[in-house]
Amino acid sequence: MIWLQNALAFLVTLSILVTIHELGHYLVARWCGVKVLRFSLGMGKIVYSRRFGKDQTEWAISMLPLGGYVKMLDVRELGADQIAAEDMPREFCRQSVWKRIAIVAAGPIANFLLAIVLYAALFLHGVPEPVAKIRLASAASIAYQAGLRHGDLITAVNNEKVQSWSEVRWKLIQAGMSDANPLVDVERANPDRSGSISRLSVELPLKRLSDKELESDFFNALGFNLAGSPEVVFEDLQADSPALKAGLQAGDRILEINHRPLLDIIDFRQVVNANANKPLKLLVQRKQNEFEVDVTPVSQDLNGHTVGLLKVKLKPMTSEMTLVQASALGAFSKAVEKTWDTSYFSLKMLGKMLVGKISWKNITGPLTIADYAGQTSRSSPISYISFIALISISLGVMNLLPIPVLDGGHLLYYSLEVLTGKPLQERFIEMAQRAGVFLLLTMMAIAFFNDIVRLMS
C-alpha cells in the first residue's frame, strides 16, 4: 500500500504545482490581451473538457498526468489562414517582446510565489523543530578539535541567528557550497552546574572535508549531530534479559554507567555493545529512589562482530523541540528569504555539477520525488506542505534554465530579440528546440537511473 500512497501524494503534488504554473501563464496572457484557446491539466489525449467565458476557453483534463499546458492563439501552430481577422491583434506573436517575456516568465514566477505563500503560512502557524543542540561523536572529531562540545546550543551561523536544527543544517550546507569555513556561535552550560551560560564563537573547518564528504552526511564527517534527550528509560525487558535477572524493571531510568553520567541512548548502547560478558555498574532511578545494580551484557554475534546486549527495549530517543514562529510581516520576510536562498542554492548545485565538483548522482527524478511525497504526507501536514514548497521552487528554477523547450529557453530567444531588435530565425529556433529536447531527455534518463539505483540500494 505504501507505493499507492506515494503515487497518490505525488499526483496531488504535481497537480497543484502544474496548475499554479500554468495559471501563471494563463492569467498574464489574458492580462496582456492574448486569446487563450485551452488550459489543460495533463498531457496527451483529452479525457474531459468544458468551455467557459467570452472566448470559450477550453478547460481540459488530459490522459497523462505528468505536466500541463496553456494553448494560446499562435500563428506558428494554426497558420494565418486559420485565424479570424478580428482575432489577429490577440495572437501571441503579434504582442510586443516584453509582453511575451512576461507571459513566459509568469509560470516559474507563479511557482516561486506559491512557495512564498506556503512558507509564510507555515511560519505564521508555527513549525515545531528540534533545537540546535549538538551531540559530539568523540574527542577525536573535527568538531571537538575546532572547539565544540557536547550539549552546545548553536545560536548563529556566520552572524545570522538560527532557532532550530534545520536552520543550522541549511546554513552549513550553504557554507559548504561556498567553500568557506563558517563561524558558529554557541551557548554552553558551565560545568559548575550553577546554571550560568558561556557564549563563544567557533570556526568550523568545512574546508577540511572532501567534495564526497560534503555531498553525503557531512555532519558525521565533522563528528557531531543533533543531540537527543539524555533520558535512558527501559520500556520492556525480554524474559532472558540480563537486566531483568539483575532486578531491573520497565520504567527504570539509567542515570550513570560505571560511575559516568550518560549522554543519551546512543551512548548507553555503545557502552553496552562494547562490554560483552563484562560487568557494568548502573545507577538506576526508580520513581523517587536511586540505587546501583551490577549487570553483565550477554555476547552475541552481529554481522561478524561480537557485541554485548542487555535484551531490553528502550524508550525512543526524542529531541528538545522549539516552535519556529513569526508575525505576519516576519513570516513573509522569512518565506521570501528561504525561497531566494533555496533557488540560489539549487543554481549553485547545478553549476558545480557542470564543472564536475559535485556528482550527477544528486539529480533526482519522479520516483524519488514520489517517495519523498509519500513520506512527508504520512509524517505530518507541515512536512508535506514544506515538501510542496520545496518542489515548487525546484520546478521554478528548472523552468528558468536556458534550455530550449523550457520557459527559460523561450526567455533566451526573447532576450536575444531585445538585444538585436529582431526575432530569431525559425530555422535556428527549430534546431535549438531539437537540441533542447535531446538535452532534456538525457537529464531525465540520468534522473531515472539515479532513482532506480537509490531504490535498489
The active-site residue, picked from 22, 160, 290, 430, is 22
Interatomic CA distance for residues 97 and 413, integer angstroms: 10
* Residue 250 grid cell: 520497565
Under 8 Å between Cβ of 131 and 319 = yes
Interatomic CA distance for residues 224 and 218, integer angstroms: 9
Can you give the three-state secondary structure of 336-352, one letter per residue?
HHHHHHHHHHHHHHHHH
Sign of CA dihedral 325, 330, 333, 336: positive
Interatomic CA distance for residues 440 and 447, integer angstroms: 10
Sign of CA dihedral 319, 380, 160, 214: positive
Interatomic CA distance for residues 17 and 264, integer angstroms: 42
DSSP string, 73-109: --HHHH-GGGS-GGGGGG-GGGS-HHHHHHHHHHHHH
- Clarify whether 22 is annotated catalytic: yes
**Owner of C-alpha cell 526573447:** 414
Burial 152-188 (b: 16+ CB within 10 A, else e): bbbebbbeeebbbbbbbbbbbebbbbeeebbebbbeb
Under 8 Å between Cβ of 175 and 347 = no
Backbone torsions φ then ψ of 147, nearest 5 degrees: 125, 0
Interatomic CA distance for residues 381 and 367, integer angstroms: 21
- Catalytic positions are 22
